[in-house]
């Protein structure tokens, strides 16, 4: 069994969720997993056997306008590797995590300690930051200095190779879901609260950034609502929330739209729904769509990035080009048109999601780890 350092952002974002669930799954296999980050990851919970948490404490020195987190993180990595005898470090997100790991690796090398680094690319570190000239050289360097690099979709793999001069393979290991999180099944009690008259229940989960096109969600819902009784749940928060509220007022649909804010466990809300709506401008994978499918909720989404690798068009959902609100609403109505049609998409969603079960994906990471430590 291995001793693994897991470095991630401890937030509600997909990279943090995947890193946390990966660590927990590895711990169940008997590996010792040490999370190294500035807060306990939101999905970590209170106690898990073989899971350890090391806080990166960022002191507020008057000398610095901005605390040098990357340097403090590197120092913490060195400390944890030395005292916990870690076999490798797995960092999620290229910067600052991979660059900090490179610094830690070189410090440890001077002390005669070998530290393999695996970097997993999740999306915006490539699709957004990677196209910023001020970040591109550091990201490219961090990728090339990693001992192994993975991407969560073929789409992200291709974009990485197109954006950067990469001198090593980028292996695709997709995101996953944990079946145990869906054991409770459909949340009928919550459904009755939000759809008391049997209305169709649509849902969207995101960080409400412009790339998620949350205003498209509202407009699609408004068109669906013209044809059948429906309600919309929106989970998350972010810069476009105020615009969502304004649009709902303009369209006079406020009574049918519920903004739930950030939820630690959005699966509880997803499991109440009939349809998941994901009209994003860009998605490197679409973890929220996968979790919807795992809950038996079909997906209407844009055909961008890694989404077509997750949602099988015509089986687990229906896809359309980014920004085509009319087509997305038409697709939603097609899925919801009859019970038989909806049931067929539910079955397709569950079958499609099954290929991304945690027990199918984690062994791929374990195999990669073994290659690095041998």
Give 201-234 as a DSSP string: EEEEES---GGG-HHHHHHHHHHHHHHS-EEEEE
How far is it, in rounded angstroms, from Cα 218 to Cα 221? 5
DSSP state of 368: H
Would the pLDDT of 104 be above 70?
A: yes
Would the pLDDT of 127 be above 60?
A: no
Q: Which residues contact 51 (CB under 8 A, 6 or more apart)?
A: 23, 24, 27, 33, 35, 44
DSSP state of 77: H
Percent helix, strand, coil in the chain, to 5, is: 45, 15, 35
- Do 14 and 127 fall into the same domain? yes
How far is it, in rounded angstroms, from Cα 13 to Cα 352? 23
Question: H or E stretch including 109?
Answer: helix 99-110
User: What's the total number of domains in the chain?
Assistant: 2
Q: How confident is the model at residue 63 (pLDDT cuts 50, 70, 90)?
A: low
Which residues face 357 on adjacent strands? 177
Would the pLDDT of 364 be above 60?
A: yes
Give me the half-sphere count of Cα atoms (radius 13 Å) on the Cβ side of residue 60.
Answer: 0
**CATH of residue 263:** 3.40.50.2000
Mean pLDDT of the chain: 92
Using one digit for the tens of pLDDT, what is the confidence trace for 328-350?
999 999 999 999 999 999 999 99
- Do 172 and 198 fall into the same domain? no
- Do 123 and 140 fall into the same domain? yes
- Do 134 and 186 fall into the same domain? no
How far is it, in rounded angstroms, from Cα 204 to Cα 235? 6
How far is it, in rounded angstroms, from Cα 318 to Cα 355? 18
| 38: containing domain | 3-176+358-373
How far is it, in rounded angstroms, from Cα 292 to Cα 172? 22
Q: How confident is the model at residue 187 (pLDDT cuts 50, 70, 90)?
A: confident
- The strand ranges marked E within 49-184 are 51-55, 88-92, 117-121, 148-151, 170-172
Mean pLDDT in residue range 161-175: 91
- Do 239 and 107 fall into the same domain? no
Can you say how many angstroms the Cα of residue 255 is from the centroid of all Cα atoms in its chain?
Answer: 30
pLDDT at 140: 87
DSSP state of 40: -
CB 140 within 8 A of CB 166: yes
- Do 92 and 183 fall into the same domain? no
> What separation in angstroms does the CA of 185 have from each of 252, 269, 357?
33, 11, 16
Using one digit for the tens of pLDDT, what is the confidence trace for 72-81?
999 999 999 9
- Do 88 and 233 fall into the same domain? no
- Do 364 and 227 fall into the same domain? no
- Do 249 and 169 fall into the same domain? no
3-state SS class at 93: coil
* Residue-wise burial string across 317-332, b where 16 or more C-beta atoms lie within 10 A, e elsewhere: bbbbebebbebbbbbb
Would the pLDDT of 120 be above 50?
A: yes
- Do 338 and 196 fall into the same domain? yes
How far is it, in rounded angstroms, from Cα 14 to Cα 166? 24
Q: What percent of the chain has pLDDT over 90?
A: 76
> What separation in angstroms does the CA of 80 have from each of 22, 29, 39, 350?
19, 21, 16, 40
How far is it, in rounded angstroms, from Cα 126 to Cα 129? 6
pTM of the model: 0.91
Using one digit for the tens of pLDDT, what is the confidence trace for 251-284?
999 999 999 999 888 999 999 999 999 999 999 9
- Do 367 and 350 fall into the same domain? no
- Do 130 and 257 fall into the same domain? no
Q: How confident is the model at residue 130 (pLDDT cuts 50, 70, 90)?
A: very low
How far is it, in rounded angstroms, from Cα 137 to Cα 114? 25
Which residues face 235 on adjacent strands? 205, 261
Residue indicated by tokens 């360097």: 141
């Amino acid at each position: 069994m291995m001793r693994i350092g897991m470095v991630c952002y401890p937030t509600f974002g997909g990279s943090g969720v995947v890193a946390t669930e990966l660590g927990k799954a590895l711990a169940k296999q008997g590996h010792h997993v040490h999370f190294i980050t500035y807060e306990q990851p939101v999905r970590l919970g209170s106690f898990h056997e073989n899971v350890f948490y090391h806080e990166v404490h960022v002191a507020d020195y008057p000398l610095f306008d901005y605390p040098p987190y990357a340097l403090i993180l590197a120092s913490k990595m060195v400390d944890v590797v030395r005292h916990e005898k870690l076999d490798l470090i797995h960092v999620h997100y290229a910067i600052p995590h991979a660059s900090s790991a490179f610094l830690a690796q070189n410090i440890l090398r001077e002390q005669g300690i070998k530290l393999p680094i695996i970097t997993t690319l999740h999306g915006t570190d490539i699709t957004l930051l990677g196209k910023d000239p001020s970040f591109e050289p550091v990201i490219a360097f961090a990728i090339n200095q990693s001992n192994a690099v993975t991407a969560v979709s073929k789409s992200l793999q291709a974009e990485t190779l197109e954006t950067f001069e990469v001198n090593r393979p980028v292996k695709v290991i997709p995101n996953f879901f944990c079946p145990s999180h869906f054991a409770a099944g459909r949340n009928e009690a919550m459904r009755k609260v939000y759809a008391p008259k049997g209305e169709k229940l649509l849902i969207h989960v995101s960080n409400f950034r412009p790339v998620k096109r949350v205003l498209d969600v509202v407009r699609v819902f408004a068109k669906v609502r013209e044809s059948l009784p429906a309600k919309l749940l929106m989970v998350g928060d972010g810069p476009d929330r105020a615009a969502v509220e304004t649009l709902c007022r303009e369209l006079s649909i406020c009574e049918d739209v519920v903004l739930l804010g950030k939820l630690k466990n959005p699966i509880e809300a997803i499991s109440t729904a009939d349809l998941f709506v994901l009209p994003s401008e860009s998605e490197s994978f679409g973890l929220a769509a996968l979790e919807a499918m795992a809950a038996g909720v079909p997906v209407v989404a844009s055909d961008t990035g890694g989404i077509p690798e997750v949602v099988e068009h015509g089986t687990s959902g229906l896809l359309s080009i980014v920004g085509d609100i009319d087509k997305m609403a038409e697709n939603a109505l097609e899925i919801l048109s009859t019970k038989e049609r909806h049931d067929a998409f539910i079955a397709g969603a569950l079958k499609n999601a099954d290929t991304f079960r945690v027990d199918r994906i984690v062994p791929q990471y374990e195999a990669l780890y073994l290659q690095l430590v041998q």
